[in-house]
Amino acid sequence: MLFYTVRRLLLLIPVFLVVSIVIFLIIHLVPGDPIDNLVRVGSTPEQKAEITARYGLDRPLVEQYLIWLSQLAQGDLGTAIVMRRPVADLIAQNLPYSLTLGGLALLFSTVLGIAAGVIAAMNKEGRIDRTVMTGVLFGSTMPSFWLGLILILVFAVQLRWFPVSGARSWESLVLPVLTIGLGGMALVARVTRIAMLETAGKDFVLLLHAKGLPARRIQLRHVLRHALLPVVTILGLRIGWVLGGAVTVEYVFARPGLGMLLIKALSQHDYPVVQACLLMLAMAVMLGTLLGDLIQAAMDPRVRSALT
Amino acid sequence: MALLDVQDLSIDIAGIKPLDAIGFTVDKGETLGIVGESGSGKSLTALSIMGLLPLIGGRVERGTIAFDGMELTRLPEPDYRRLRGRRIAFITQNPMTSLDPVIRVGEQIDQVARLHLGLSGSAARRHSIEIMERLRIPEAATTWHNYPHQLSGGMKQRIVIAMALAANPDLIIADEPTTALDVTIQAQIVQILGELVREKGVALILITHDMGVVAQACDRVVVLYAGRVAESNTVSAIFASPRHPYTQALIGCIPRNAMERGSLVGIPGLVPSVARYPAGCRFHPRCTRSESLCEREVPVLERLASGAEIACHVADKREASHA
């Protein structure tokens, strides 16, 4: 298991390199550059060229990439061209907000999603099942930015329960967490329900009934445990998604965070900041997947045996 | 009085009626074989006795299942649950899929003793290992820690049998316990089950499609065809003089020594599906001796003086004069 973890971590290195190349290329292929945001109106081409040279943007792309990569390897994310601050500072300032929001949203969708899925599965085809699954269908089809606006309209503007925007208090977290969490909850609930119903039809469940175990205990201790295996995979994929998906939601709620930073940097073509933000999101996806796989291995002895 | 007495049992699963007036009895220390092809209703008979029909959306429509004086068809679920695994144990068809794959096999045996005998953790484990040793599972204490995927099919079936034995049941229902196993393992499992009946006096219902297993292990046999009893008799009588054309055909399917090449025959056709049972005798489309009466009228199950039962219009129902 330890060997497997180490190997998986080592495997992340080539993936990381490929991802960094793609990120670097995408941002540099977008038309426009940060210098336009720096120079004053009416400055001469010579002044422009001087600034371009100062940031190394006149060199060939390959060279620029290698410089960025070697700095990255030393833990240096560079300095923001337009915002004129070390990128690491900007990230450190914004990341905690995104992690809080993403973490709470993930927790919300995990706990309530599994609970809703279990309740639906245990009342299969009954009224409760249909009610829960209808709600889940709504939750999974609503785009998060739209849901965010509706929540603001109802709970912040009309009822005045929560602030409209910002990140000053815990109350300001409620609506963004709901906005991101509801979609995830719907997904988790659907997967949990389907997986539980599928597991319930297996031979070993019949034998558990034949052993005289109470039906509820069979559902919660045995069937649910199997149903959680696919749920864990999905949640692992969602760890990265939640951080990335928070981009639009942070914007809607005007919350500081990685998403807001990314959007601002994109509009200014602030290459080092955009690269660092995208790299953070990519790392979250990679680590999330790895975490999901490790948890699955911890839960399923068959997966563990296949690893060694 | 017999330990288990099933009478006139008919079941209903979502509007279809796969069992029609099944009846048989099992005594302590006796092995009853229930034989038939796939789709004849053998496994559903087992589920009916276990009270597990609701799991597949079915229910007992008519008839009685009396177990040790209790009427099971009217037993409330909590009482039924205390009976399952405790006094009536079940051995499923496929050991490969019958064990929870993420739980140690030992714990799965412990579960039964903890639930029904109230044993604590370590006592339950000692109890399980003792049963595993009795079933000749090598290095039982080590095997206790294994997960199902680490064991062979024969070992897994022994674990399933150990679970069935953990609470000292009075009746064991084994649904095709050997079908998924290698021939050599099959013989061992049948032998283990036979020893249990002889040594502990449990009643065993052995569901199988294999007449060879019946001959080896059973005292009496009920032949099912398309959800009805075709014939029932003692094993020796049924092999010596099968009366129902279907039983005759089943016995004709067993390969024997000194058979001529190419002389092994099957029964032409298939068991009809539940939705399309033919009128009259359900076997008549495949029967070599069917008459026009067989197409119209359902043959009643007749009880002969010797205790044998047969449902056929054309079979010879005379008892041998010395019987």
Q: If you measure CA to CA, which chain A residue comes closest to B151?
A: A302
- Please, what is the average pLDDT of chain A? 85
Are residues A209 and B55, on separate chains, in Cβ contact within 8 Å? Answer: yes
Q: Report the domain count for chain B.
A: 1
Could you tell me if residue B118 is inside a domain? Answer: yes
Contacts of B94 in chain A (CB under 8 A): 203
Could you tell me if residue A91 is inside a domain? Answer: no
For residue B315, CA distances in Å to A38, A199, B112, B301 come to 104, 47, 47, 12
Please give the average per-residue pLDDT across A126-145, as a whole number.
84
What order do you get walking across the sheet with B70-71 strand by strand?
A: B16-26, B4-13, B58-67, B70-71
Could you tell me if residue A155 is inside a domain? Answer: yes
Could you tell me if residue A85 is inside a domain? Answer: no
Residues A63 and A117 in one domain: no
Q: How close A201 comes to chain B (CA, Å)? A: 9
Q: Report the domain count for chain A.
A: 2
Could you tell me if residue A165 is inside a domain? Answer: yes
The closest alpha carbon to A276, from A56, A94, A127, belongs to: A94
Could you tell me if residue B298 is inside a domain? Answer: no
Are residues B84 and A207, on separate chains, in Cβ contact within 8 Å? Answer: no
Q: What is the pLDDT along chain B (323 residues), one digit of tens a residue?
A: 789 999 999 999 988 888 888 999 999 999 999 998 888 888 899 999 999 998 888 899 999 999 998 999 999 999 999 999 999 999 988 888 899 999 999 999 999 999 999 888 899 999 999 999 988 888 999 999 999 999 988 899 889 999 999 999 999 999 988 877 788 888 888 888 888 888 888 999 999 988 888 888 899 999 999 889 999 999 999 998 888 989 988 888 777 776 677 666 677 777 788 878 888 888 888 888 888 888 888 888 888 888 888 898 888 777 654 44
Q: What is the pLDDT of residues A196-218, one digit of tens each?
A: 999 988 889 999 999 999 989 99
Residues A179 and A212 in one domain: yes
Could you tell me if residue B134 is inside a domain? Answer: yes
Q: Name every residue in A having a CB less than 8 A away from some CB of B.
A: 202-204, 206-214, 222, 225-226, 299-302, 305
Range of the domain at B129: 101-160
Are residues A212 and B103, on separate chains, in Cβ contact within 8 Å? Answer: no
pLDDT exceeds cutoff 60 at A153: yes
Could you tell me if residue B129 is inside a domain? Answer: yes
Could you tell me if residue A86 is inside a domain? Answer: no
Count interface pairs A-B at CB distance under 8 A: 72
Residues A136 and A284 in one domain: yes
Residues A66 and A104 in one domain: no
Could you tell me if residue B269 is inside a domain? Answer: no
Q: How close A12 comes to chain B (CA, Å)? A: 29
- DSSP-derived letter for residue B191 is H
The pLDDT of residue B279 is 86
Are residues A226 and B84, on separate chains, in Cβ contact within 8 Å? Answer: no
Q: If you measure CA to CA, which chain A residue comes closest to B104?
A: A301
Are residues B52 and A206, on separate chains, in Cβ contact within 8 Å? Answer: yes
Least confident of A42-56, A143-157, B242-256: A42-56
Query: Model-level pTM?
Result: 0.82
Please give the average per-residue pLDDT across A286-294, as a whole number.
88
Range of the domain at A143: 97-307
Residues A26 and A102 in one domain: no
Quote the ipTM score.
Answer: 0.88
Residues A149 and A214 in one domain: yes
Could you tell me if residue A78 is inside a domain? Answer: no
Could you tell me if residue A52 is inside a domain? Answer: yes
Length of chain A as a residue count = 308
**What CATH number does residue A121 fall under?**
1.10.3720.10
Mutate: best of B100, B115, B175, partner A, most A CBs <10 A: B100
Are residues A302 and B83, on separate chains, in Cβ contact within 8 Å? Answer: no
The closest alpha carbon to B161, from B192, B197, B123, belongs to: B192
Are residues A209 and B84, on separate chains, in Cβ contact within 8 Å? Answer: yes
Contact of A132 with A205, CB cutoff 8 Å: no
Please list, residue by residue across B282-304, b when 16 or more beta carbons sit within 10 angstroms of its beta carbon and e when fewer do. bbbebbeebeeebeeeebebeee
Contacts of B149 in chain A (CB under 8 A): 301-302, 305
Q: Among partner residues B86, B89, B147, which is closest to A301 by beta-carbon distance?
A: B147
The pLDDT of residue B322 is 45
Could you tell me if residue A81 is inside a domain? Answer: no
Q: Name every residue in B having a CB less than 8 A away from some CB of A.
A: 50, 52, 55, 81-86, 89-90, 92-94, 97-103, 111-112, 115-116, 147, 149-150, 160, 163
Residues A69 and A112 in one domain: no
Q: How close B208 comes to chain A (CA, Å)? A: 18
| Last residue of one domain, picked from the residues A73, A89, A112 | A73
Residues A131 and A210 in one domain: yes
